[in-house]
Amino acid sequence: MTSQDRSVYDVAIIGAGPAGSVLALVLARSGLSVALLDQSEFPRRKVCGCCLNGNAMAALKQCGLANLPKSLGAKPVVRMQLRCDKRVAELQFQNNWSVSRTRLDLALVEHSQLAGATFLPGQRATMGDVSDTLRKVELHSKSGNSSIAARIVVVAHGLKEGTIARDSRLGVGAILPRAPQSMAYDGLLMAVGRGGYVGGVRIEDGQYDLAAALDVDFLKAKGTIANAVCDILRQSGITETAELAAADWKGTPLLTRRPTEIAGERWFAVGDTAGYVEPFTGEGMAWAMNGALELAPIVQQSVSNWQFELIQAWSNLHQRKIARRQWLCRVLSRALRSPSLSRGLVTGLKLFPGLAQPVLRQLSRPTESLAGVIE
């Protein structure tokens, strides 16, 4: 029986983003049979700021993939321009890289397959009931319906569940063939305005990634995503934005949300599914990959010896290792909703850019992982 013919796995992972793929890679290396499922065919595009900070790079290194971003054509991001109401501050970065999710996610999936995981794209998967030592997973695809079973199911399918914060913003993004002339900045450009913020960065092959978080009412008032993004850029002093009107904009579900639970009988949630905060600080992929590394030993233990105590063990570990790191992003995102605070922050950083360094070091500091990763 080939891996594609298998109907029972040790672990089934629903969602092949950074969290799901890194977890599949680690578990397959440990000798477990792993099914990695995603509703999309790969390669596929995702709305994302496309930045890997020092914490994300440390997670890749722990997986033995320290050189992966560079091999994909990632660009080093050594500085950031923060703009608000025509005020501009310049900050310095270390060990930050930018690469599209199209290329990164596909590469992580391929590495998980090389480790032995079975990748099943084009499958909309839903978690079913538990029978004895197995949990069923229903699969729905263009070719029909089927099912598999696994000793443990991990849900990593992104922003699809959970209680949405009352003031949650909508994520939007586009990839341009090149940077607009008015945004030709060799680094990360962040524009904060009334209605949200916009980030832009060069990625591989000379392309330019744009990502924004927009207030829903602001977007409705502007009529289109392009109009809303251009308005925020104009507020920051960037006026030549004609290329943005023709861009292929995509949106996300509302961003900030908290699930009612992140584990249950023979299942765990990880990545964005386990809770997400509006990602102004660019830590989304670091949270996802580090969450996978933290969860891996618990899944390994669950496969060999399931105990209900492991539900609380993951909840406690996620709170300590991942959720606590999200507080700074949550505070900063809320503060930047105030025009006066935003202007004051940028003005202060323009005069004293060194004030940002402790924060930047904290954001890039590797998670103190308890996970033992097999390389």
pLDDT attached to residue 5: 61
Largest CA distance in the chain: 66
Map out the domains of the chain as residue ranges.
Answer: 3-162+256-364
pLDDT attached to residue 372: 38
pLDDT attached to residue 374: 31
CA torsion angle 188 189 194 195 (round to 10): -60
pLDDT attached to residue 59: 96
Q: What angle do CA 334, 185, 281 make, to 5 degrees?
A: 25
Terminal CA-to-CA distance of the chain, rounded, Å?
A: 27
pLDDT attached to residue 367: 74
Residue among 119, 65, 114 at smallest CA distance from 375? 65
pLDDT attached to residue 369: 52
- The model's pLDDT over 92-141, given as tens digits with 9 standing for 90+, comes to 988 899 999 999 999 999 999 999 999 999 999 999 999 999 999 999 99
All residue ranges of the chain with pLDDT < 50 are 1-3, 370-375
CA atoms of 11 and 188, how far apart (whole Å): 38
Burial of 324 (0-12, 13-18, 19+ CB in 10 A): exposed
pLDDT attached to residue 111: 98
pLDDT attached to residue 368: 64
- The model's pLDDT over 1-38, given as tens digits with 9 standing for 90+, comes to 344 568 999 999 999 999 999 999 999 999 999 999 99
Burial of 366 (0-12, 13-18, 19+ CB in 10 A): middle
Question: Under CATH, which architecture does the 3-162+256-364 domain have?
Answer: 3-Layer(bba) Sandwich (3.50)
CA torsion angle 189 191 192 198 (round to 10): -90
What stretches of the chain adopt beta strand conformation (E)?
8-14, 34-37, 51-52, 75-76, 79-84, 87-92, 97-98, 118-120, 124-131, 134-141, 144-155, 163-164, 170-176, 188-193, 196-202, 208-214, 250-254, 257-258, 263-264, 267-269
CA atoms of 208 and 205, how far apart (whole Å): 9
Which residues have C-beta within 8 Å of that of residue 345, sequence separation ≥ 6? 84, 335, 336
